[in-house]
DNA sequence: TCCAGTCTGTCCACTTGTGCACACAAGATT
DNA sequence: AATCTTGTGTGCACAAGTGGACAGACTGGA
């Protein structure tokens, strides 16, 4: 009997591990994932690749896997886009709320390159019709994404550039799983925060002076993660808590190694 | 035959007019509205009444009718809430994205008092299961609401307080239908923009000096709406265009009088 | 009619963030 | 090794927004 249980556990683990490294897909029951599996494809996307432009027909859901990251950009009258929220292996982009076939409102861009899983929106909707539990997982994720955007709106309204810089670096690291570096130029960081480049450099300098991080050409090395947390606003944590309440286990944590499970 | 047509038109108009003054509800087909009608109740809510607090079970969808306005607030570590988006007779609040039964993430508050229609989320979900067209209207609205939040996030990141003040006043007037006044103290305006009261007063003073508006104790009188538009960012217009594309006729326009229709 | 409470206009010193400029550094190319 | 391109550090003058203070002006209620 113990043998049987163990076999079941191993086969289930194997089944889950064969899925793309996306927590939303991995959280689905076997039966639910089986509805989607025939339509899921995986490939690599390069940084800066555009997944959607405003006005595009939304036909494919993209799931960032592993360290890849997507971002929602809102176009601006100046031509410079403003970055809003980051989506990594905890989620997906494209038709999550609209359920597809509406013109995209934002631009969606690959921030950090890597593997993405893809799924036709119509196939996903058909599967949702067949499985309420599948529908609920995606409705719950949609709610988490909404929470993320609400929090960003508030954050942009009242938190300082310094706080938002620290927050962004932490959020990116949580999602990529990289413990101490973020591949980003000062220019990119500035753009994504919607501030001038020189000020972004200055904020990073102040962090460096305090021993929190080091700067390299094209990347930021974090030396003291807790120091960074101390300097960040709490927006990330609020969103993380909502994820935990609504979709436990989907938001990536630092100790995400499989061996941490107690059985 | 003309008589028959006219009768049909009159009875249809009467049917629509008997619905609460909410554009989302009025946009539903007769058949779809019939699914909801037995469960819809209407009452009056006073300004500052709380519809949801963070963590609340989401069980009721609230539809602002006529001049009433609801707003999503994100709580902040300081205890002061930050206002994010405004919802008037073009929409609804509560379980639009989450489809109910999840803890609310934001606080939702009545900004301007007036009539609200209410509908149990579970009843709405049941009706959606029976009618794909009903589901689509709500999915489309959810997408518009999302667009609104995305735009606010970007707006807060890069637009000046002056632009955002003008934008907010215009957005509120569009929704209430009031052509030239907004019942708001400087304090309230400041809080909702996330800025200090004295600066909000100064911005209003500069508008007054330019003849754009007048200030009264507890309200703002708009004297030159185009002047205000000139001083606002274009965020409202972007959202409005998305509404027109996705849910034509739901976003309130200035010439909303029934007589403008050509038959 | 007067009082109390709230709202408004404005002053001031201060912090945060802007936008431009320019020297220098690190790779990439040849 | 010389060169080119792109990224980085920093100086400066300026604009935007903060937060506290306070006098005066409305308004509702006793």
* SS3 (DSSP) at A201: helix
What b/e string do you get for B112-126 counting C-beta neighbours within 10 Å, with b at 16 or more?
bbbbbbbbbbebbbe
Average pLDDT of span B128-152: 96
Could you tell me the two tokens for B91?
Answer: 């929409």
User: What confidence tens digit (pLDDT) does each residue in B31-74 have?
Assistant: 999 999 999 999 999 999 999 999 999 999 999 998 999 999 99
Q: Name every chain A residue with its beta carbon within 8 A of the beta carbon of B134.
A: none
Which of B109, B7, B152 has the alpha carbon at shortest distance from A106?
A: B152
**Alpha carbon B36 to chain centroid, angstroms:** 21
Taking CB atoms and an 8 Å limit, are B97 and A97 in contact across chains? yes
Which tokens belong to A228? Answer: 């960074």
Report chain C positions within 7 A of protein CB atoms: 6-12, 16-21, 26-27
Q: What is the pLDDT of residue A11?
A: 54
Per DSSP, helices labelled H in A78-234 are 121-130, 132-158, 161-176, 186-193, 197-209, 225-231
Intra-chain end-to-end CA distance of chain A, in Å:
16
Angle at which helix A161-176 crosses helix A132-158, to 10 degrees, equals 150
Contacts of strand C, CB cut-off 7 Å? A 160-162, 194-196, 198-199, 202, 216-217; B 185-187, 197-198, 201-202, 204-205, 208, 215-219
For B92-102, give one letter per residue: b (16+ CB within 10 A) or e.
Answer: bbbbbbbbbeb
| CA–C1' gap, A88 and C26, in angstroms | 31
* Angle at which helices A132-158 and B132-158 cross, to 10°: 20
Output the distance from A114 CA to C29 C1' rounded to whole Å: 27
pLDDT above 70 (res B14): no
Indicate yes or no: CB of B82 within 8 angstroms of CB of A157: yes
Return the percentage of chain B with pLDDT > 90, whole number.
Answer: 84
Q: What's the gap in Å between the CA of B245 and the closest CA on chain A? A: 8
**B182 and A CB contact within 8 Å:** no
Please state, in angstroms and rounded to a whole number, the distance separating the CA atoms of residues A177 and A174.
Answer: 5
How far apart, in Å, are the Cα atoms of A62 and each of A25, A49, B173, B224? 11, 13, 38, 46
Nearest CA in chain A to B132: A129
Q: Which of A100-104, A134-138, A145-149 has the lowest mean pLDDT?
A: A100-104
The β-bridge partners of B118 are B41, B62
Instruction: Using alpha carbons, select from B40, B4, B47, B3 the residue that is nearest to residue B20.
Output: B40
Protein CA at B225 to nucleotide C1' at D21, angstroms: 34
Q: What is the per-residue pLDDT across A151-201, written as a single tens digit (0 to 9) for each?
A: 999 999 999 999 999 999 999 999 999 988 999 999 999 999 999 999 999
Using the beta-carbon criterion (under 8 Å), do B149 and A153 form an inter-chain contact? yes
CA distance A142 to B4: 47
* Closest among B66, B137, B57, B166 to B101, alpha carbons compared: B57
Chain-chain contact of A98 with B143 (C-beta, under 8 angstroms): yes
Of A84, A97, A245, the CB nearest to B143: A97
**Residue in B3, B26, B1 with CA at minimum distance from that of residue B13:** B26
Q: Provide the shortest C-alpha distance from residue A65 to chain B (in Å).
A: 24
| pTM of structure | 0.92
The structure tokens listed for A114 are 């890597």
Closest chain B residue to the Cα of A129, Cα to Cα: B129
Tens digits of residue pLDDT in A50-65: 999 999 999 999 999 9
């Amino acid at each position: 009997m113990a043998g049987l249980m163990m076999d079941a556990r191993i086969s289930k683990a194997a089944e889950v591990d064969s899925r793309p490294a996306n927590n939303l897909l991995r959280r689905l029951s076997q039966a639910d994932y089986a509805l989607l599996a025939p339509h899921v494809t995986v490939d690599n996307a390069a940084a800066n690749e555009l997944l959607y432009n405003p006005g595009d027909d939304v036909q494919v859901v993209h799931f960032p896997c592993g360290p890849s990251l997507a971002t929602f950009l809102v176009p601006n009258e100046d031509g410079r886009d403003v970055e809003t929220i980051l989506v990594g292996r905890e989620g997906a982009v494209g038709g999550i709320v609209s359920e597809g076939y509406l013109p995209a409102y934002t631009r969606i861009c690959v921030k950090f390159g890597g593997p993405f899983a893809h799924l036709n929106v119509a196939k996903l909707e058909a599967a949702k019709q067949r499985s309420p539990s599948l529908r609920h997982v995606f409705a719950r994720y949609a709610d988490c994404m909404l929470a993320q955007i609400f929090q960003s709106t508030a954050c942009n309204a009242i938190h300082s550039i310094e706080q938002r810089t620290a927050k962004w670096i932490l959020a990116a690291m949580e999602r990529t799983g990289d413990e101490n570096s973020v591949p980003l130029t000062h220019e990119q960081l500035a753009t994504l925060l919607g501030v001038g480049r020189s000020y972004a450099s200055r904020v990073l300098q102040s962090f460096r002076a305090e021993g929190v991080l080091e700067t390299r050409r094209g990347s930021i090395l974090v030396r003291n993660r807790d120091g960074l947390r101390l300097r960040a606003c709490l927006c990330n944590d609020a969103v993380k808590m909502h994820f935990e309440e609504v979709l436990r286990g989907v938001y990536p944590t630092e100790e995400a190694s499989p061996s941490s499970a107690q059985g």
